[in-house]
Amino acid sequence: MNTRFTGIKLGPPIEVFALQKTFVDDPHDNKVNLTIGAYRTNEGKPWVLPVVRKVEKLLAADDLQNHEYLPVLGLDAFSEAATSMLLGPNSPVIAQGRAFGIQSLSGTGALRVAAEFLSRILHYDTFYYSIPSWENHRLVFTNGGFKQAREYTYWDEKTRSINLEGMLNDLRDAPENAVIILHSCAHNPTGCDPTPEQWTKIADVIQEKRLFPLFDSAYQGFASGDLDKDAYAVRLFAERGIEFISTQSFAKNFGLYNERVGNIVFVLTDTKELVEAKSQLTLIVRGMYSNPPNHGARIVATVLRNPELFEEWKDHIRTMSSRIKQMRVGLHHRLLKLGTPGTWEHIIQQIGMFSYTGLNEKQVQHLRDNYHIYMLRSGRINMCGLNESNLDYVANAFNETIKLFQEEQNDCTC
Ligand SMILES: Cc1ncc(COP(=O)(O)O)c(C=O)c1O
């Protein structure tokens, strides 16, 4: 019998969540999850940051807290503190009143609202994302009203680093007002960021060609352990007087994944459009989800605005980023010791949560089928899935798999 819903086509699965489910259902004792982008301790457990726990207890005991609606654009205390964290406490654009932030539903929600604002209010219709990029950029921007999705070169497979000339050429060819999505630090999935000199060249082209930069800041502090270092690119653009939007996620750096804490920062040349811009954003949010949730934003605001808690949190981000660095060194060291074919410098050179290993789809499949090691088809691994207990197992599995495929290639008479 046909119903109104008959004929709906099955959408493709979202790789990262599908793999997560297969992993959970896998009964194997030594299974390793290197897929989903979430921090894990050396014991392989999720980590509630102690400062977050502390503030949650304070809030729970505070009778002045309630569950009233927040304003449409969220908690001012949160978005002001988040904006200052991104642009710097002494940022001239903040002092001049040319920057403001609004609370959003984590980084994804920030991107979605930004996309709708850019497409419906500024009438921009083309966006560019890096190849490769976080797989959701395309979907979010298309759903946000953009008509033209285009790619720019980013990764050089051979050198396992940025193809800057390719990137700049693609940007030079972009039409005026094209929105260029840039990862402000810890590029996902490659873990490879432009150097300060390369950022200057990127800013030059963006300025010359009158393109619109949109920074996606999902890993500030988490990448290097240093908030200022990870905000280098965003602050460079602000200093150069370039107008832009930056989205911010507090999922990784605060471990607040399911609380959906995000912010959208707008940097304008002139303060006179600020009220109008906010009024349009209010309508976009009102028509989408009406207003954001309180809990996570309240935690982040409390921590960022209290010097003692802020120092405690900065200690936590150093703990997370240095554990990741240790895992990079550990994996690199083991692969070299095992004599694994290929070069592995990129494992220690890349930054942030992910490593783009260079393993191909067949090798990834082999690792899953034979060793119960789960990673994305692209060869991206979440470094946090590694720990002292599974490093040897993973390095051995990589080594055996790579050697096996190399032998198969050598045996091939075709
Ligand atoms: C590059 C990038 N942008 C944005 C996000 C959005 O994350 P969330 O919506 O959980 O804040 C992620 C999450 O993995 C990401 O890697």
Q: How far apart are CA 176 and CA 245, in angstroms?
A: 17
- Residue 252 annotated to the active site: yes
Closest residue (by CA) to atom 12 of ligand 1? 218
Please report how many Cα atoms fall inside a 13 Å half-sphere around the Cα of residue 158, on the Cβ side: 1
Q: Tell me how far the alpha carbon of residue 251 lies from the centroid of ligand 1, in angstroms.
A: 8
pLDDT for res 407:
76
CB-based contact 265:111 (threshold 8 Å): no
Apex 283 CA angle, 278 and 288, nearest 5: 125
Ligand 1 atom nearest to CA at 353: 16
Average of pLDDT values for 60-65?
96
**Alpha-carbon gap, residue 189 to 321, rounded angstroms:** 16
Q: Which two tokens stand for residue 243?
A: 């107008």
Q: Is the pLDDT of residue 414 over 50?
A: no
pLDDT band for position 411 (cuts 50, 70, 90): low
249 lines ligand 1 (CB under 6 A): yes
CA-based nearest residue to 116, from 98, 139, 134, 142: 142
What is the structure's pLDDT at 408? 73
Best-predicted range by mean pLDDT (28-42, 168-182, 394-408): 168-182
In this predicted model, what pLDDT tens digit does every residue of 288-310 receive, in sequence order? Answer: 999 999 999 999 999 999 999 99
Instruction: Give the pLDDT score at 160.
Output: 86
Q: Degrees (nearest 5) of the Cα angle 321, 237, 155?
A: 60
Taking a C-beta distance cutoff of 8 angstroms, is the pair 185, 193 a contact?
yes
Mean pLDDT of 346-357: 93
Cα angle for residues 236, 241, 246 (degrees, 5° grid): 60
Taking the centre of ligand 1 as the mean of its atom positions, its distance from the CA of residue 334, in whole angstroms, is: 30
Q: Which domains does the chain have, with CATH numbers?
A: 15-47+322-405 (3.90.1150.10), 69-305 (3.40.640.10)
Residue nearest to atom 3 of ligand 1 (CA): 218
C-beta of residue 78 within 8 angstroms of C-beta of residue 103: yes
Active-site residue 134, yes or no? Answer: yes
Residues above pLDDT 70, as percent of the chain: 99
Q: Is the pLDDT of residue 412 over 80?
A: no
Position with higher pLDDT, 134 vs 413: 134
pTM of the model: 0.95
Question: How far apart are the two ends of the chain, measured CA to CA in Å?
Answer: 52
pLDDT at position 413, please? 44
pLDDT, one tens digit per residue, over 175-202 is: 999 999 999 999 999 999 999 999 999 9
Residue pLDDT, tens place only, 88-132: 999 999 999 999 999 999 999 999 999 999 999 999 999 999 999
Instruction: Determine the Cα–Cα distance for residues 292 and 221; give it in Å rounded to an integer.
Output: 24
Mean pLDDT confidence for 241-270: 97
